[in-house]
Amino acid sequence: MKITNLLNQKKRPLLMGILNVTPDSFSDGGRYNHIHSALKQAEQMITDGADILDIGGESTRPGATFVPVKEELARVLPILKAVKQNFSVPVSIDTYKAEVMRAVIAEGADLINDVKALTEPDALAAVANTNVDLCLMHMRGTPQTMQKNTQYEQGVLVEVKNFFKQRIIACQQAGIARERLLLDPGFGFGKSQTDNFKMLAEFASFKEFELPLLAGISRKSMLNAVAPAEPAQRVYSSICAATIAMLQGAQIIRVHDVAASADAIAVTVATLKEKN
Ligand code: YH5
């Protein structure tokens, strides 16, 4: 299912539920429990109102470590297959590795959610002659180093937009139709606290690209800095941030807390419906 079709059909922001499959999310490391717990999570998120499930096999949190292709595929492929067999919800795969992209596309992935915006070798070619949707996220540096230098010479908004312009051109040159692209400024990825909130305050300005915008703020540290709480207790601040983004045109919100976010979407939609 094309994400743009889903947006046109639902006529409201879409809810992308984060399905966590990195090893710290399950205790024994056994494959059966791994798949079983992912399917349970998936089922609950769909019941709660998820429109898309996002599956990632390598954590891209600040300081997270690299996962080899083989290991990433061992984590993600069985879960992708199981979700595709059991549910009809579109599946997004959070990866920046071309080899992983090729494998998950062959297994029916609907969206490639790339925190490196197809800048890795061979990534553009891996997706070019396919019909998957693509989320291009801005990150400066790598997950290992990105919080070391968060100074933007021209200001964060200008730099993120220049990056989007370059990546859109790179996609066009690789033969990727513009209609397949989504944009995401990448909250928390190599940005200072001030810049994260500047991007949220000015989120509407990213509409200039006339592409669907994705906001991923759920449970992030930028929220902890202003409303201190352990990650699992950041629901209220996450809902608030997602709502601020949706009021400014975010069309997909990437979240951990699906049920709470579905209520936020309902309230936002009812509000936006009455706006001139
Ligand atoms: C995103 O924004 N983020 S992985 C640190 C946290 C909580 C959550 C507790 N993948 C994004 O979710 N893909 C990630 O502190 C993403 N946009 C897109 N498109 C980081 C994450 C997180 C990190």
- Residues 182-200 as b/e (b if ≥16 CB within 10 A, e otherwise) read bbbbbbbbbbeeebbbbbb
231 C-alpha to center of ligand 1: Å?
A: 12
Taking residues 54-59, what's their average pLDDT? 92
Minimal-distance CA residue to ligand 1 atom 1: 216
Amino acid symbol at 58: E
Query: Which atom from ligand 1 is nearest to the alpha carbon of 221?
Result: 15
pLDDT tens track for 136-183 = 999 998 888 888 888 898 999 999 999 999 999 999 999 999 999 999
User: Is pLDDT at 135 greater than 90 in this prediction?
Assistant: yes
pLDDT tens track for 14-23 = 999 999 886 6
pLDDT at residue 23, rounded to an integer: 64
274 C-alpha to center of ligand 1: Å?
A: 32
pLDDT tens track for 184-236 = 999 999 999 999 999 999 999 999 999 999 999 999 999 999 999 999 999 99
CATH, range 3-275: 3.20.20.20
Cα separations (Å) of 128 from 91, 166, 243?
18, 17, 33
Minimal-distance CA residue to ligand 1 atom 4: 60
Q: Using a 6 Å CB cutoff, which residues line ligand 1?
A: 60-61, 94, 113, 115, 135, 137, 184, 186-188, 214, 216, 219-221, 231, 254
Active-site amino acid positions? 220, 254
Residue ranges covered by each domain of the chain = 3-275
Pairing assessment for the beta strands 91-94 and 111-114 based on DSSP bridges: parallel
The two tokens of residue 268 are: 């936002």
215 C-alpha to center of ligand 1: Å?
A: 10
